[in-house]
Amino acid sequence: MKFARILAIAAALVAAALAHAGDGKTHRVAFHVDQNDPAVMNLVLNNVSNLMEYYQDKGEQVQIEVVAYGPGLHMFREDTSPVKDRLKHLSSGTFPSTVKFSACGNTQKGMEKREGHAIPIVPEATVVPAGVVRLTELQEQGWTYIRP
């Protein structure tokens, strides 16, 4: 009887620990930026920070990718980004592998053609062939899509 009671308590503690640890799922969230608007860019980065903190506090994993194309590429342009200090801070924070920044290569090429010079991208961002294709791929892989 005493052994059964100890076993029941142990089982309850194990169940509670497993419930607290979550299901081991990694949350994957993709953000879309297509506007050259500092308010939109900051809104996205605020959401990124909030997601990172929320899941960190819960002890759960999260992967976040911010994809910028069209006028939104200014977010990742070294010469025009109004948020490059925040990008650097998020990339070098507690969980730098949690967030990834993807810059549209098609948009970059188009801007270079129109402006007549190379368009520098911040070192925190990776150039992908096409932003819209990257978002499509992430959604096909089951990522949650958010457009501010």
Q: Which uninterrupted H or E stretch holds 131?
A: helix 131-140
| pLDDT one-digit tens code per residue, 68-94 | 999 999 999 999 999 999 999 998 876
Instruction: Write out the CATH class of domain 24-146.
Output: alpha beta
Residue ranges of domains in the chain? 24-146
Q: What is the mean pLDDT of each run of 10 residues along the chain (148 residues)?
A: 47 41 79 98 96 91 96 98 95 77 98 97 97 97 95
Whole-model pTM: value is 0.83
Question: Rounded to whole angstroms, how far apart are CA atoms 28 and 75?
Answer: 21
What are the CA-CA distances from residue 6 to residues 13, 20, 42, 76 (Å)?
11, 21, 53, 58
